[in-house]
Structures are given as structure tokens and as C-alpha cells.
Amino acid sequence: MMDLADSQQQRLIAGAALLVATVAFFRFLLRSRSGGKRLPPTIPGAPVVGGLVKFMRGPIPMIREQYARLGSVFTVPIISRKITFLVGPEVSAHFFKGNEAEMSQQEVYRFNVPTFGPGVVFDVDYSIRQEQFRFFTEALRANKLRSYVDQMVVEAE
């Protein structure tokens, strides 16, 4: 009778050791994917749908809730994608000034191509987009905008 109990106990210990080794291995894999960089906190969610349910209930309340809970940078898993939110001026510069390998503006702006047309701003590669943004920055300064008012009125009428 003792042999059966010992055998079950050994299997239980072996199973627990295998489980611990598996968890440690997957944690190592996830950590190595991030390249040693600290990733933003991710909101918890059900597998596959992730934060979709919270997002569909209302994106603005969800963003406010997670901002209060996790801070100005957090990630929401939605189906097979992860969407990272940068909330507030203190972190938005990371989006606009981050390098393309870490912070892809292309993915975010792709939907906006019809606004400006093909080959402009959101339909060009990163280096050209940065050059075009410099033009916009200069053209959209407050003193320049004031000089456009008369022309805008003519166009609107």
C-alpha cells in the first residue's frame, strides 16, 4: 500500500516540477521578446477577446478608468492585436518622436490616408513623414494661422 502512495506522491511532485519549469520557460520567452525593455502594463482580459468587451462598452470611460488605474501609458489586448494608449502631453511626445521600430505611426495613421490623399503624410515612409511634419509645424504656428484667416473666409463663402 505504501508503494502506491509513494508512486502517486512522486508523480505529483514530478507534475508540479514540470508545471513550474513550463511557467518559468514561458516567462523567459516573454521577457526576451521585449528585448529587456519595460513594457507598459496590460489590462487583464479574457483570452482572445482581451479588452474588447471593455472597449466596446465605451472607449472613453475605459481609457479614463485605465488611466486612473495604470497611469498614462497602458496596453489593451483586443483579439489578436495589442493597442497601447499614451494619455496626456507628458507621454505623447514618445509617439511623435519615437523611432519607427518601436512606435509605428504607420499602423495608427493608415486609416487617415483618404483625408490627405495618397503619397502625403500618412501614406509615406517614416523619414518623408518626419520631413512633411516639419513643414506643417512651421505652417501651423499661431502667427501663420492668423495670416490665413482672410483666405479661409473667401474659400468658405
pLDDT digits (tens, 9 = 90+) for 8-65: 777 777 666 666 666 665 565 555 555 567 788 988 877 667 788 888 888 899 899 9
**Coil vs helix vs strand at 88:** coil
Q: Is the pTM here over 0.85, yes or no?
A: no
Q: Residue 40: CB partners within 8 Å, gap ≥ 6? A: 70, 73, 74, 75, 84
Same-domain check for residues 124 and 149: yes
Residue 148 identity: Y
Same-domain check for residues 44 and 91: yes
Tally of structural domains, the chain: 3
Beta-bridged to residue 86, according to DSSP, are: 73
Same-domain check for residues 154 and 106: yes
Write out the residue range of the structural domain in which residue 89 sits: 40-97
Same-domain check for residues 92 and 105: no
Return d(Cα 144, Cα 105) in angstroms, integer. Answer: 27
Same-domain check for residues 107 and 139: yes
